[in-house]
Amino acid sequence: MRIIELNLENYRNNLNLSINFQPEGALLFGPNGIGKTNLLEAISYIAFGKSILGLRDNELINFSETFFRITASVEIKSQIFHIEAAADKTKKVIKIEKNLISKTSILYNYLKVIYFSPLDIEIIQGSPGKRRQFLDSSISQLKLEYLEILQRFYRILKQRNSLLKDKTNLSSKESWDKKYIEISSIIIKYRIIFLKEFAQFVKEKYHLISQRKENIEIKYRYSFPLLSDLDYFENLTNTIDKNAKYEIKSERSMYGPHLDDLEIKINDHDIRKFGSQGQKRSLSIALKLAQSQMMRENNECHPILIFDDVFADLDEDRTTQIINLLENKHQIFIATPNISQYNQINLPRIDVERFINSE
């Protein structure tokens, strides 16, 4: 899986360019603010149909223009595809082989990208919502239907919360409870199955990165205590029955997948409280590498790996080690202001500043 050619029109700060990439990828260097991240973001736009940095489409359009367009030729399992994404101030259009696609999520079947960002550390030290989001998006990339299940879950959750708050239609509560428990159980099933394999990969990757024997443990943390002789469905049913009054008083759903968390321990201690910055950084990279491994196992493809200046607080040896860890079947893009950190890395170099000025 690789990107062969990328063309940008009116994308962000003056990027109108056409660029060909080698199968192994590129090391993009240049001073801060020159547009390295924009370039990486554009590559990932072709995979996700939206900005990986959470920007709105109209924020991607160059200030003096009314639309942007990204076109790319990509190779997926020896087949070449042409993908085009464009947006003006009101709407977005995505085409695969010149055919308009009806839903952005159809794109997920094509290019697979794992984006390593300095903000990934938030998955570890941020709020539980960050970890749920990481978990859910990792599963969605493997199982397309999970996205629909998740949307259904949030719809039912919203309805049920409204019922608990409004209180006028509590006679239909039993039915909403039943649907809520049913869909929650499906979500949990997907998450637990995913985590079983994923946690093992994280452990392995972390050991390879840190070269230390620290024990990493990732466990799913439920939002209520579970009795081990019952399954999740029965546990949630009992908890909701027992706490009906409390939920009505609280005016929202107090138990379920939307409040669960991941517990990450390093040598039996909560990494959020006791982990060093270096440990957290290494682990955040391990999480993403494990995500890539999951894709390899499930789709037999090697996703494109994008590293946006994530190695800044690691030394050269550690960085080299991480890159060498990766199979050469991945196309790899690394952006950095500091090229000297990558002396031992064998990737084609692209001077972004010179490249943009020569266009």
Partner 1 sequence: MFSGILAELEKNLKSLPGIGPKTAQRLAIFLISMEKDKSLQIADSITEAVNSYHNCSECNILTAENPCKFCTAPERDNKALCIVETTQDVYLIENTHEFQGKYFVLTKLLSPLDGIGPNDIHFSKLIQKVKNENIQEIVLALNPSAEGETTIVFLATNLKDLVPSITRLSTGIPFGGDIEYSSTPTLINALKRRYTVKE
Residues binding partner 1 (CB under 8 A): 143-145, 148-149, 152, 155-156, 158-160, 162-163, 166, 168-169, 171-172, 174-176, 178-179, 186
d(C-alpha 330, C-alpha 259), whole Å: 35
CB of 160 to partner 1, least distance (A): 7
CB of 277 to partner 1, least distance (A): 40
Residue 215 is given by DSSP the state P
Pick 89 or 269: Cβ nearer partner 1: 89
Pick 155 or 212: Cβ nearer partner 1: 155
User: Torsion over CA of 89, 94, 99 and 104, rounded to 10 degrees?
Assistant: -130
Extract long-range pairs of 253-258: CB within 8 Å, 24+ residues apart: 253/157, 253/160, 253/161, 253/164, 253/180, 254/223, 254/224, 255/223, 255/224, 256/157, 256/180, 256/184, 256/223, 257/132, 257/153, 257/184, 257/187, 257/188, 257/191, 258/132, 258/153, 258/154, 258/157
Question: Tokens standing for 147?
Answer: 């996205």
Pick 158 or 196: Cβ nearer partner 1: 158
Pick 193 or 312: Cβ nearer partner 1: 193
Pick 52 or 139: Cβ nearer partner 1: 139
CB of 186 to partner 1, least distance (A): 8
Pick 158 or 354: Cβ nearer partner 1: 158
Strand 332-336 vs strand 304-308: parallel, antiparallel, or unpaired?
A: parallel
d(C-alpha 200, C-alpha 208), whole Å: 13
Q: Locate all alpha helices (DSSP H) within the chain, ordered by sequence.
A: 36-48, 121-125, 128-142, 144-166, 173-210, 232-242, 244-250, 271-274, 277-299, 316-325, 352-358
CB of 162 to partner 1, least distance (A): 4
d(C-alpha 291, C-alpha 196), whole Å: 13
**What is the DSSP track for 189-207?**
HHHHHHHHHHHHHHHHHHH
CB of 212 to partner 1, least distance (A): 40
Pick 253 or 319: Cβ nearer partner 1: 253
CB of 187 to partner 1, least distance (A): 12
CB of 147 to partner 1, least distance (A): 10
